[in-house]
Amino acid sequence: MPSNIVLVTGVSGELGGKLLARLGNNPDFERVIGVDTSPPPKRIIARMGNAEFVRADIRNPLIAKIISAAKVDTVVHASTTAHPPGPARRTPVKEMNVIGTMRLLAACQRSPLVRKLVVKSTAAVYGASARSPAVFTEDSPLMAVSPKGFASDAVEMEGYVRGLQRRRPDITVTVARFTSMIGPEVDTVTTRYFAMPVVPTVLGYDARMQLVHSSDALSVLELATVREKPGVFNVGGDGVLALSQAVRLAGRAELPLPMPALPSVSRLLRGANLVDFSRDQLKLLNFGRVVDTNLLKREFGYAPRWSTREAFEDYVQGRALRPVIDGRSLSALLRKVALPSTNEHVPSQ
Amino acid sequence: MVDRNPVSGSGPTSATSVRDARDEAQDGQSAQVIPLRSAERGGSQRRRHAAEAVEQYGGAAVVNLPGSADVPGQRVRVEPTLPGHEAGADEAVPEAVAKALDFVRGRLTGEYDIDEFGFDPELTETMLLPALRMLYDKWFRVEVHGAENLPIGGGGLVVCNHSGTIPLDALMTMVAVHDNHPKQRHLRLLGADLLFRLPFVGMLARKTGHTLACHPDAERLLRGGELVGVFPEGYKGIGKPFSARYKLQRFGRGGFISAALRTGVPIIPCAIVGAEEIYPKLGDIKPLARLLGLPYFPVTPFFPLLGPLGAVPLPTKWHIEFGEPVRTDLEDGDAWDDPMRVLSLTDRVRESMQQLLYERLAQRGGVFGN
């Protein structure tokens, strides 16, 4: 039986809002309800078709009433923020992530009509350390870097999801673990990080980065809602960029800092309202994280359209980031200096 | 760019033929060899001379011109110094300079590729291998035996003895495999987590294609058809006292053998002779090691006595021997799940390595020569 009445959480976010708009314009659904504590942006509301917005807090017991009263059969939980883009107070975010998920899943368990659950999770659940394998598969153990970070919320949340699966085996559960999301329109910690003219990095480390374009993330969530795709899937673009390579591609200036200096720099950046450099994030800058996406391609049946590099270049172009250090002109200059004699022969077209 | 061709001066007909030929060449795979040959066929002394001049630098200083950017998906590279004939061939860009400039350009703009393990083949081949090669050729004068035992293609597990206090043996084996393999394959080593925790060292290890010694990574590399190198003795091997030299220590839990069994790749035993004597480890300052978070703090005859000077390895003569491959694809599908068979295969590999070591030791003339 295909999905009929869908509830989407976290629609005030970029991804949740766009998902609401996509599902709202899909004639197969009878009703599409978006919930969040604040309404989606105006441009989303204008495009959201049949979808409706209900201002509700998933931490509030009211959510159970909405699910049962609207006869919701499919729940898309897209409100978890693994890495809030900017400085956010820890307590409300944690409450939203953990308590909100608990409430929502409790409501799903209670309502007999709910048959499908789609959860947006993060690849940060695998952690990042010198002891981690280079590439994580879906069955790698989940261990958050620090017990207090946002990644640990995601680990906890996935624990609740597994609990629900055990108690209600009839519900189809899809968990999508996204790598760092990037794109011209989304606001994530990654997009804010590379928007800074001078990018602090960890001296002596060059992390491997795997990115997922926001449009691919959106398609995966949509597919999971429309079709029956039970399981846990890593979602990330093909290919890997080194952090230093990405810094050059974006034309940023790299500022390598010794490891002990980074926490104070991160506090400074936090204070300046620029980017939230949490402990998880620092570890990511140290070691990086790459996930295996074979399961996504084979079983889920979706091949990301953007590779890591294309996604990153799209972000650089879409944001119209002006290079601080222009590698192209620098190397042209170097060529001119090193080979003064040959330049006169090269056509100046 | 055609007008810049020295050949075009010799007449309109030949210029068109060159242009046609070049267009054809751009459609095909080879970029600029064909027009030169056609020019030579033209017969004129001048043209032949030009062709020679260019052939001399053919394939050397090749650089993308801005105009060639509109041919997507295909790198049409054009000789920038084609006018070399009139201007004098000595103005042509030397190969090394052009290569270096291309490399620097790639680094500055981020135009290069790394694999999911962080392996950067361009950087490895351009910067790191040449540096290691100096140590390999001049300092240790490494001699390689049995390189034909390395698989030409597909996965393979090279199992080596570990010694020398500092894992120079791993780096030298990497150079040995790359330089002696007909296809110049890269040996992907599996290292301890300490390696990846250290700044710079860990970064370079990733960039040269090495990864953490763990089951998922080993299997992933082997399944991907890579040549993987392991040092199953680990710290027990590399940090053993000088008195225990060339005695193979206990192999870990044999995880590498089960990885090879699972993927059905051959196991190539490898004996490294000469690395034991580069830093003769006489003692171990345990408290200092604990303080620094290292597995041991070595005391050699010169270190820490002579300070940094004591850290210069002794110039021993090295031999690296690759033994007969042990096939694992003949075992049945679930042999990796049978601990008895995994352990007996581990012992077999270990014995053949010890054998190789003793044979090579008996043959070598002295520690520092021959």
pLDDT exceeds 80 at position A90 = no
Kind plus residue range of the DSSP H or E element containing A87: none
Residue A242 covered by a domain: yes
Mean pLDDT of B209-223: 94
How far apart are alpha carbons B342 and B355 in whole angstroms?
Answer: 20
Mean pLDDT of A287-291: 93
Q: Do B118 and A134 touch (CB under 8 A)?
A: yes
Q: What is the mean pLDDT of chain B?
A: 79
pLDDT of residue A327: 81
Kind plus residue range of the DSSP H or E element containing A36: strand A31-36
Q: B95-138 pLDDT, tens per residue? A: 888 888 889 888 988 899 999 999 999 999 999 999 999 999 99
Q: Do A345 and B197 touch (CB under 8 A)?
A: no
Residues of chain A above pLDDT 90, percent: 60
**Which CATH homologous superfamily contains domain B121-278+313-363?**
Glycerol-3-phosphate (1)-acyltransferase (3.40.1130.10)
Any residues with CB less than 8 A from the CB of A23 and at least 6 apart, and which? A6, A8, A29, A32, A51, A222, A225
B365 Cβ under 8 Å from any chain A Cβ: no
A159 Cβ under 8 Å from any chain B Cβ: no
A301 close to A232: Cβ distance less than 8 angstroms: no
Half-sphere exposure of B74 (CA within 13 A, CB side): 12
How far apart are alpha carbons A117 and A120 in whole angstroms?
Answer: 10
Test the A interface: residue of B65, B114, B195, B228 with most A CBs within 10 Å: B114
Position A128, amino acid: A
Position A293, amino acid: T
Distance from CA of A229 to the nearest CA of B (A): 25
pLDDT of residue A229: 92
Mean pLDDT of A184-206: 90
Residues of chain B above pLDDT 90, percent: 54
Q: Do B108 and A328 touch (CB under 8 A)?
A: yes
From chain B, the residues in CB contact with A131 under 8 A are 193, 212, 214
Sign of CA dihedral A232, A237, A238, A239: negative
Q: How many domains does chain A have?
A: 1
Minimum mean pLDDT among A180-184, A295-299, B40-44, B135-139: which range?
B40-44
Mean pLDDT of A77-102: 78
pLDDT of residue A82: 57
Q: Assign A88 a pLDDT band (cuts: 50, 70, 90).
A: low
pLDDT exceeds 60 at position A58 = yes
Mean pLDDT of B86-98: 62
Q: Do B194 and A287 touch (CB under 8 A)?
A: no
Q: Which of residues 8-67 of B touch A (CB under 8 A)?
A: 65-67
Q: C-alpha A343: how far from its chain's center?
A: 46
Distance from CA of A247 to the nearest CA of B (A): 8
pLDDT of residue B21: 43
Residue A312 covered by a domain: yes
Count of residues in chain A: 349
pLDDT exceeds 70 at position A120 = yes
pLDDT exceeds 70 at position A345 = no
CB atoms within 10 A of CB A255: 14
Q: C-alpha A22: how far from its chain's center?
A: 18
How far apart are alpha carbons A99 and A93 in whole angstroms?
Answer: 10
CATH of the domain at A143: 3.40.50.720
Query: Residue A335's closest chain B neighbor by CA?
Result: B101
Please report the ipTM that was assigned to this predicted complex: 0.88
How far apart are alpha carbons B46 and B67 in whole angstroms?
Answer: 27
Q: Do B203 and A248 touch (CB under 8 A)?
A: no
Find, among A139, A307, A131, the residue nearest to A236 by Cα: A307
User: How is residue A299 annotated by DSSP?
Assistant: I
Q: Do B196 and A203 touch (CB under 8 A)?
A: no
Test the A interface: residue of B86, B102, B105, B120 with most A CBs within 10 Å: B105
pLDDT exceeds 90 at position A213 = yes
pLDDT of residue A331: 83
Q: Assign B2 a pLDDT band (cuts: 50, 70, 90).
A: very low
Residue A332 covered by a domain: no
Q: Assign B43 a pLDDT band (cuts: 50, 70, 90).
A: very low
Phi, psi angles (nearest 5°) of residue B72: -75, 155
pLDDT of residue B42: 40
Q: Do B197 and A130 touch (CB under 8 A)?
A: yes
Phi, psi angles (nearest 5°) of residue A35: -120, 145
How far apart are alpha carbons B331 and B281 in whole angstroms?
Answer: 41
Q: Assign B146 a pLDDT band (cuts: 50, 70, 90).
A: very high
User: How is residue B320 annotated by DSSP?
Assistant: E
pLDDT of residue B163: 92
Q: At what angle do helices A262-271 and A279-287 cross, to 10 degrees?
A: 130
pLDDT exceeds 90 at position B254 = no
SS3 state of residue A6 = strand
Phi, psi angles (nearest 5°) of residue A231: 135, 180
Phi, psi angles (nearest 5°) of residue B163: -165, 170
Structure tokens that stand for B57 in this block: 């630098």
Find, among A280, A258, A216, A297, the residue nearest to A15 by Cα: A216
pLDDT exceeds 70 at position A84 = no
Phi, psi angles (nearest 5°) of residue B322: -100, 125
Residues of chain B above pLDDT 70, percent: 75
pLDDT exceeds 50 at position B54 = no
Test the A interface: residue of B111, B128, B201 with most A CBs within 10 Å: B111
Q: Assign A85 a pLDDT band (cuts: 50, 70, 90).
A: low
Residue A331 covered by a domain: no
Test the A interface: residue of B206, B207, B220, B222 with most A CBs within 10 Å: B206
The residue whose two tokens read 């107070």 is A89
Name the residue facing B199 among A205, A249, A292 (closest C-beta): A205
Mean pLDDT of B249-257: 86
pLDDT of residue A265: 85
From chain B, the residues in CB contact with A202 under 8 A are 199
pLDDT exceeds 70 at position B19 = no
From chain A, the residues in CB contact with B202 under 8 A are 130, 204-205
Q: Do A334 and B83 touch (CB under 8 A)?
A: no
A290 Cβ under 8 Å from any chain B Cβ: yes
Name the residue facing A205 among B83, B109, B202 (closest C-beta): B202
pLDDT exceeds 80 at position A43 = yes
DSSP B13-78: HHHHHHHHHHHHHHHSS--SHHHHHHHHHT--HHHHHHHHHHHHTTTTS-B--GGGGGSTTS---B
Mean pLDDT of B29-58: 42
pLDDT of residue A152: 87
Position A223, amino acid: L
From chain A, the residues in CB contact with B203 under 8 A are 204-206
Minimum mean pLDDT among A116-120, B62-66, B220-224, B319-323: which range?
B62-66
pLDDT of residue B95: 82
pLDDT of residue B246: 93
Q: What is the mean pLDDT of chain A?
A: 88
Half-sphere exposure of A106 (CA within 13 A, CB side): 14
Q: Assign A306 a pLDDT band (cuts: 50, 70, 90).
A: very high
Q: Assign B91 a pLDDT band (cuts: 50, 70, 90).
A: low
Sign of CA dihedral B238, B240, B242, B248: negative
Q: B280-290 pLDDT, tens per residue? A: 999 999 999 99
The residue whose two tokens read 């190539």 is B268
pLDDT of residue A1: 59
Kind plus residue range of the DSSP H or E element containing A330: helix A327-338
Q: Assign B231 a pLDDT band (cuts: 50, 70, 90).
A: very high
Q: Which of residues 43-82 of A touch B (CB under 8 A)?
A: none
Residue A42 covered by a domain: yes
pLDDT exceeds 80 at position A154 = yes
pLDDT exceeds 80 at position A313 = yes
Ranges of each domain in chain B: 6-109, 121-278+313-363
**Rg of chain A, C-alpha, whole Å:** 22
Q: Assign A340 a pLDDT band (cuts: 50, 70, 90).
A: low
Minimum mean pLDDT among A83-92, A209-218, B136-145: which range?
A83-92
Q: Do A206 and B207 touch (CB under 8 A)?
A: yes
Position A69, amino acid: A
Count of residues in chain B: 370
How far apart are alpha carbons A39 and A46 in whole angstroms?
Answer: 12
B219 close to B262: Cβ distance less than 8 angstroms: yes
How far apart are alpha carbons B138 and A105 in whole angstroms?
Answer: 67
- Domain coverage including residue A224: 5-326
Query: Residue B83's closest chain A neighbor by CA?
Result: A345
B54 close to B36: Cβ distance less than 8 angstroms: yes
A340 close to A334: Cβ distance less than 8 angstroms: no
Any residues with CB less than 8 A from the CB of A281 and at least 6 apart, and which? A83, A189, A266
pLDDT exceeds 60 at position A74 = yes
Provide the number of CB pairs (under 8 Å) joining chain A to chain B.
Answer: 123
Minimum mean pLDDT among A40-49, A75-84, A241-250, B151-160: which range?
A75-84
Distance from CA of A4 to the nearest CA of B (A): 40
How far apart are alpha carbons B209 and A349 in whole angstroms?
Answer: 40
How are beta strands B156-160 and B227-230 bridged, if at all?
parallel
A291 close to A126: Cβ distance less than 8 angstroms: yes
Structure tokens that stand for B256 in this block: 């590498």
Q: Assign A161 a pLDDT band (cuts: 50, 70, 90).
A: very high
Burial label, B338 (beta-carbon count in 10 A; 0-12, 13-18, 19+): middle
pLDDT exceeds 60 at position A309 = yes
Of the ranges A213-217, B72-76, B194-198, the best mean pLDDT one:
A213-217
Sign of CA dihedral A309, A313, A315, A321: positive
Name the residue facing B109 among A204, A327, A342 (closest C-beta): A327
From chain B, the residues in CB contact with A244 under 8 A are 110
Q: A260-287 pLDDT, tens per residue? A: 888 888 888 877 777 777 777 788 888 9
pLDDT of residue A135: 95
Half-sphere exposure of A298 (CA within 13 A, CB side): 5
Mean pLDDT of A213-236: 95
Position B69, amino acid: A
Q: Do A130 and B207 touch (CB under 8 A)?
A: no
